[in-house]
Chains A and B, each alone.
Chain A
Amino acid sequence: MRTSISRDDLHILLHEADVAARRLVRQLRLPRADLDDVRQDLLADLIARLPAYDPDRGALGAFAGTVLTNRATRIANKVKRERRMYGAMPISLDEPVPESDGLTRGDLTAEADGLSALFGQPVDAFAAAEHRLDVERGLGSLEPADRALCAALSRTTVDCLAASGHGARSSLYRRVKDIRLALTAIGVRAA
């Protein structure tokens, strides 16, 4: 077991990590900007596993090579999994677009094409403002008690309200159903 590391050993580790990172970035066709991140990831894993190195079983370079190969495989699998999930090669938003007067991909990407939209989050600020106005108009048409129930349900659940003595669970669900129908008739669409 090893508890300290010499300057020469550190040099070996840095070199091995650098070679492994360059190889991985090249194999996966990752952007050049990812090289430092990959190198740091590999190096951090290698340093964390260094106490397990036994000089009697082989050279430090060989140990580092084995650890880095394993870590590189895990990183490669992760990258491939993400690519399968999103179906495309990742590109940097900071990458300048050719013949676009210095604009980057981030400058030319609409909010509706962003990650938020992919995960179903609202990205249209105007639509969000209109929806809020609709909700406020809908709330105005409800009885005060139903309004209070809507507000309470924005921070808790029917079960919690029932448990804290705000009425029977079935009664609360009946009221929620009635509120949804009333809001639908008023023209408030479901979120």
Chain B
Amino acid sequence: MNVIASRIPAVRKPLTEIDLCVWVGQAAPGDVLEYHRGFLALDTLTQGARLAERERAELARVAHRAWWAASRGMIHLVQRRHRSDEYSYLAVARPKPKQASISLSSLLLAEAA
């Protein structure tokens, strides 16, 4: 845990969905990103008063995108408890999954046909 904690970058401003996507796209295997600190389930609640509406909506998008990336095998999602109701939500980069490439020429020809 200490190893991971020392590699967590300092969070200066709330992460946005595109920030997370850029990090996922560029991270080397093993890189760690804290994409939220708090209690995600509560912080994303519409009725919750922990965050302003705009921040809550962005956090929900970030959390959804992190889940999406994990389901695609791009990252691991882990969390670290600091104290009651306060967690670090961490994304750990995985080796890039091998995707079957699609021929751009074939795709464009099929579209033109």
Q: Residue among A132, A155, A185, A189 with the most chain B CB within 10 A?
A: A185
Q: Residue among B22, B69, B107, B110 with the most chain A CB within 10 A?
A: B107
B108 touches A151 (CB 8 A): yes
Chain B residue at smallest Cβ distance from A133: B101
- Further 13 A-B residue pairs, CB within 8 A, beyond A139-B102, A151-B107: A135-B104, A137-B99, A139-B104, A140-B99, A140-B101, A140-B102, A151-B108, A181-B18, A184-B18, A184-B22, A184-B24, A186-B25, A188-B25
Which single member of A139, A152, A181 contacts B65 (CB below 8 Å)?
Answer: A181
Which single member of A141, A148, A150, A185 contacts B21 (CB below 8 Å)?
Answer: A185
Give Cα A64 to B35, complex, Å: 76
List residues of B (62-87) whose CB comes within 8 Å of A's CBs: 65, 68-69, 72, 74
How many residues on chain A are close to B (CB under 8 Å)?
24
What are 18 A-B pairs with beta-carbon distances under 8 A?
A136-B101, A137-B99, A139-B102, A139-B104, A141-B72, A147-B102, A151-B107, A154-B111, A155-B112, A182-B68, A185-B20, A185-B24, A185-B69, A185-B72, A186-B25, A186-B96, A188-B25, A189-B25
B68 → A minimal CB distance (Å): 8
Give Cα A176 to B60, complex, Å: 19
For residue A187, CB closer than 8 A to chain B, the reply is: yes
List residues of A (146-173) whose CB comes within 8 Å of B's CBs: 147-148, 150-152, 154-155
A182 → B minimal CB distance (Å): 8
For A133, what are the chain B residues with a Cβ–Cβ distance below 8 Å? 101
For residue B55, CB closer than 8 A to chain A, the reply is: no
Give Cα A134 to B100, complex, Å: 11
Chain B residue at smallest Cβ distance from A136: B101
For residue B26, CB closer than 8 A to chain A, the reply is: yes
A188 → B minimal CB distance (Å): 7
Which single member of B25, B26, B69, B107 contacts A139 (CB below 8 Å)?
Answer: B107
Give Cα A127 to B24, complex, Å: 21
Q: Given A184-B21, A185-B21, is A132 in contact with B104 using a C-beta cutoff of 8 Å? A: yes
Beta-carbon contacts of B13-54 to A below 8 Å, as 1s and 0s?
000011011101110000000000000000000000000000
For residue B103, CB closer than 8 A to chain A, the reply is: yes
Give Cα A100 to B92, complex, Å: 55
B111 touches A152 (CB 8 A): yes
A9 → B minimal CB distance (Å): 58
For A151, what are the chain B residues with a Cβ–Cβ distance below 8 Å? 107-108, 110-111
Give Cα A189 to B20, complex, Å: 14
For B101, what are the chain A residues with a Cβ–Cβ distance below 8 Å? 133, 136-137, 139-140
Give Cα A182 to B24, complex, Å: 10
Chain A residue at smallest Cβ distance from B75: A185
For B108, what are the chain A residues with a Cβ–Cβ distance below 8 Å? 151, 154
